[in-house]
Structure 1
Amino acid sequence: MARSKEFEINEVLDKAVQLFWVQGYEKTSMQELVDFMGIHRRSIYDTFGDKHALFMKALERYDAIQNKKMRLLVEKQAPVKELIRQFFESTIKKEGEPQGCFIVNSGVELGLSDPEVASLVEDSYSKTEKLLYNLVLVGQQIGEIDALLEPEAISHYLMNAWLGLRTMVKTATDQGKLSRIINTTLAMLD
């Protein structure tokens, strides 16, 4: 008779996300995953596969959670520029999470050597850029954002600024500097 799982999959997967997010793929050993996730090595292999498969599941889980947060933000009834500001500020106001971004970290660490990671990262970036593009269009339609700006170019610009901020937040100690970067970025929309 097969044993039933004695853990909730998303709970242990969230622990894998945390460990990979802090340490990266290469620096995380299977034993550290076993210890941190609190399940047996065999359970990891049976449920998720090898370390790489677990890493991909962790990236997918993180991406899904981030997409849900972005959708909830966009659904708020607020001015478009305020939504974009909140989008950027959510990067520097992380409570209970590691600094930076698991997707960005993974792209930097493995993007050139792992096509599967590169594809997931690119897909994640594309979804975010599309969200920014749609916000810019709405902002232009209601007169909040300069109608002469090219929406695609502005969404690329905002994406680049956001990625830079997500990288910078890992080492920046001056919160005022990060806020000024956000203010300068948003000033481009006037």
Structure 2
Amino acid sequence: MLILIASTRTPKIDGVRRAFTKVASTFGLDPATFEFRSVAAESGVAETPMSEAETMRGARQRAEQVFVPDPNRRTVSVGVEGGLFIEEGRMFLQSWSCLFDGRRAYFGSSGALELPSALQRMVREEGLSLGSAIDRFMDANDIRSRQGTYGALTEDIVTREDSFAAATTFALMPYLNAARYEER
């Protein structure tokens, strides 16, 4: 199986790889037959999407953009996107994954993590991207390429990679477990 990952960022690539490897044996797949290819892709959404719909759209657009079928084997592409949404006046971080098989898109998301109010202010009032805001908040550089905001705020109990692995695992379920998702 050829798996095209619509990103060159390590946490995204490793999260997608983990998800496929984790579910493989349950669905009769051999991880040794997986070929993962990382392909740069634009999301077509804001650097920090500000709604679940925008984040999902970014993941889908990435997945569709890099999909090129291999005529000799099953091919899927995966786009992952992190974004924010506001509910009850609070801002949350959430990751979305979209698996695309050339015909249909399958979605899954991670859990949502509430951002500290100081971080929310940087994004809402100062207009910073989450990547810039978390770097300033943590007095660090390029956190998003490592543990991400998830890791920074959870003391690495849950990392950015973990969030993308969870989202991709959930996106894989309707694709690999189609019998459970059929109309009854």
TM-score by length of 1: 0.25
Higher alpha-carbon Rg: 1
TM-score by length of 2: 0.26
